[in-house]
Structure 1
Amino acid sequence: MRFKASIHNVATFTKLTASLNSLGPLAWVKLGEEQICFTIIPEQGTQVWAVLSVDSIFETISVQSAAHNVINLEVPLASLTRALKSALNATSATIRLTKKDGVPVLALTIVTTTSSNAYSAFPANNDNRPDASSADDSSGGSRETIVTQEIPVKVLSPDTVAGLHEPRCREPDVHIMLPPLMQLKSISDRFTKLALADAKTGSGSVASKPRLEVAANMHGCLRMSIQSDAMSISSVWTDLINPDLDPNEVDGGEAGIADHPSTRMKLLGTADGRSKEGWATVRIDGRDWGKVMSVGRLGGRVVACFCHEHALILYVYLPSEHSDDESVLTYYVSSYSA
């Protein structure tokens, strides 16, 4: 079993792992020759199924295993994120699967080049203890420093992960392209803080997990709100895009689209968002939603699919300068009952 790759997009890799770490401490990482998959399935909260093209992160990759050249790992995201942050200004960075004292580790090797009279320090921590070596350029003008960070991991057998699968959801009632996620995060965090402050004063009935109500229609409208006995606040976006369905992706093709729940919902509601009809609504944990929105730091377009009173599925399409294949992060957020 072997895995080694050179990283050409450390910044994106770091932002991705930091975003995922906010939702859960451990990730199932599936390493393949063409795709890298990150999956988080917490006991409570949002599930994430991320499928990344190899070219979006790695320049070169080698994966060898008896299981059709696929390796499954359980990876601590905080340790991986800390290691990657130390590589942000590196000249080059490689990552490989190896063993230390019989324990599987991901070894991240970072090469940096600095002026020979400059001082460079690499902070160590209890989770990632770097091994460093350095050499001066023969001209005396620069110093090359090599640091290796080791992240303990667990190798998972194919049988262990065979039963894991994405949640099954019915066809969405509404699909809509969201405004910038960092804008949504700013507003939802403000709503959540107001709800928590209201609960602490005893004037409201919001529980320790303030619940946001998020709704959308097939006329480009999105609404986010929160309420208690003492307050009711909301924000509404209009003129958003409801993407067209692809007949090749819908059972029954054109006939399937004609009978699709979103097609029926489009007959209801209005573009100004004032009508009470035609809205699909979910109720979600405000703090969990704020963590989900942190993926906005990666950029890209986001399509939200609303299954009324059941679930919200977010598809985050990441931009890539190095690959024609899109990387997609899928978030499954369950709805609370009314």
Structure 2
Amino acid sequence: MRFKASIQNISTFTKLTASLNSLGPLAWLKLSDDQVCFTIIPEQGTQVWAVLSIDTIFETYTVQSAANNVINLEVPLASLNRALKSALNATSAHIRLTKKDNMPLLALTIVTTSSSNTYSAFPTTGTNNEDPFDQSPLEDFGVGVRETIITQEIPVRVLGPDTVAGLHEPQCREPDVHIILPPLLQLKSISDRFTKQALAGTKAGTASTASRTRLELAANMHGCLRIGVKTDAMSISSVWTDLSNPDLDPSQVHNGEIGIAEHPSTRMKQLGTADGRSEEGWAVVRIDGRDWGKVMSVGRLGGRVIACFCHEHALILYVYLPNETGEDESVLTYYVSSYSA
């Protein structure tokens, strides 16, 4: 079993692990020849299934195992994120799977450089009969770069194929509404404010903390998104209009064009209005405000986010991370269950 890689995008890797760590302490990391997958399945709350193209994070990449070159690891996200933070200003970083005292771990080796200005009384001796005085002025006076190598170790657990064989993404019905969300950091700010107001405006003992932090999200097929909160003491909401409802790809829908014509979102498009005032054509979900705030932390990665609303059932977010060519090759999928009314 062998894994080693050089990291070309430490910033993205660090932001990714920070975002995932807010939803759960452990991640299932699946390394294969063509993909890197992070999965979080907490006992409660949002599930994350992230599928990344290798060049989203890594430059050189090697993975070998007897199980079709697939390695499954259980990784503590906080430890990995702390190690990556220390590499943000590194000139290079490499990660590999190794063992210490027969315990598996990921070893993150980072290289940093710093300038040193020391006067050299004598010129450096040349090689191959070179003139020792035929050096650059910086070399003559000992102006050089000092290199520091640091290795950080992250304990991991190797998972056998049988351990992960039963883990699969949740099955959801076809969404009633799909819409491109506004910037997530903007959405997070409003969501967090609504959650705090709901907690502050509800009398102690009148409801459980969980019920007092539930947000209602709704969207229609006319570019409208609504987020709000209702308690015995207050009802507030915010509405976005002129958002985009992306067209369905016939190649991704069962029965192609016929399937699109019969799709729930096509029927929902016949209802409602673009100004958001009509009560028809809205798909609604109710989610925990604090959990939603953690999901929204993925906004630090940027990228396009499509929200799929399964009315009164679930909200599925697809967060697309653009690569250097501008193509969407990596996607983080978030599954958020809806509470009943």
What is the TM-score normalised by the length of structure 2? 0.91
Corresponding residue for 2:28?
Answer: 28
Report the Cα offset of residue 105 of structure 1. 0.4
- Aligned 1:192-231 pairs, distance under 5 A: 192-199=195-202, 201-202=203-204, 205=207, 207-209=209-211, 210-231=213-234
1:18 aligns with 2:18: yes
Corresponding residue for 2:247?
Answer: 244
Corresponding residue for 2:63?
Answer: 63
Corresponding residue for 2:136?
Answer: none
2:22 maps to amino acid: S
Indicate the SS of the match to 1:327: strand
Corresponding residue for 2:107?
Answer: 107
Report the Cα offset of residue 203 of structure 1. 9.1
Structure 2: distance between partners of 1:117 and 1:234: 60
Report the Cα offset of residue 320 of structure 1. 1.3
Structure 1: distance between partners of 2:115 and 2:2: 35
Structure 1: distance between partners of 2:113 and 2:256: 56
Deviations 1:57-92 (A, max 9, x none): 000000000011110000000000000000000010
Report the Cα offset of residue 220 of structure 1. 0.4
Pick the aligned partner of 2:281 from 278, 286, 302.
278
Deviations 1:169-201 (A, max 9, x none): 0000000000000000000000011111123x4
Q: Does the 8 Å contact 2:320/2:328 carry over to 1?
A: no
Which 4+ stretches in 1 moved above 6 angstroms?
Answer: none
**Cα pair distance change 1:111/1:161, threshold 3 Å:** same
Structure 1: distance between partners of 2:116 and 2:100: 32
- Aligned 1:179-198 pairs, distance under 5 A: 179-198=182-201
Report the Cα offset of residue 141 of structure 1. 2.1
Structure 1: distance between partners of 2:334 and 2:102: 35
Structure 1: distance between partners of 2:272 and 2:218: 12
- Aligned 1:36-185 pairs, distance under 5 A: 36-116=36-116, 139-185=142-188
2:297 maps to amino acid: S
Q: Does the 8 Å contact 2:226/2:240 carry over to 1?
A: yes
1:207 maps to amino acid: T
Q: Does the 8 Å contact 1:55/1:323 carry over to 2?
A: no
Structure 2: distance between partners of 1:196 and 1:167: 31
Report the Cα offset of residue 299 of structure 1. 0.3
Q: How many residues get paired?
A: 319
2:170 maps to amino acid: P
What 5-or-longer segments of structure 2 have no aligned partner? 119-138
Deviations 1:268-321 (A, max 9, x none): 100000001100000000000000000000000000000000000000001111
What is the TM-score normalised by the length of structure 1? 0.92
Structure 2: distance between partners of 1:205 and 1:2: 53
Q: Does the 8 Å contact 1:91/1:113 carry over to 2?
A: yes
Q: Does the 8 Å contact 1:198/1:204 carry over to 2?
A: no
Corresponding residue for 2:2?
Answer: 2
The CA RMSD measured in Å over matched residues stands at 1.6
Q: Does the 8 Å contact 1:22/1:291 carry over to 2?
A: yes
What 5-or-longer segments of structure 1 have no aligned partner? 119-136
**Cα pair distance change 1:57/1:215, threshold 3 Å:** same
Corresponding residue for 1:296?
Answer: 299
Deviations 1:28-50 (A, max 9, x none): 00011211000000000000000
Indicate the SS of the match to 2:248: coil
Structure 2: distance between partners of 1:261 and 1:205: 35
**Cα pair distance change 1:334/1:204, threshold 3 Å:** same
**Cα pair distance change 1:322/1:73, threshold 3 Å:** farther
**Cα pair distance change 1:198/1:325, threshold 3 Å:** closer
Structure 2: distance between partners of 1:110 and 1:273: 52
Corresponding residue for 2:265?
Answer: 262
1:309 aligns with 2:307: no
Structure 2: distance between partners of 1:252 and 1:151: 47
Indicate the SS of the match to 1:115: strand
Report the Cα offset of residue 327 of structure 1. 0.3
Structure 1: distance between partners of 2:325 and 2:183: 23
Structure 2: distance between partners of 1:324 and 1:228: 43
Structure 2: distance between partners of 1:42 and 1:28: 11
Structure 2: distance between partners of 1:231 and 1:245: 38
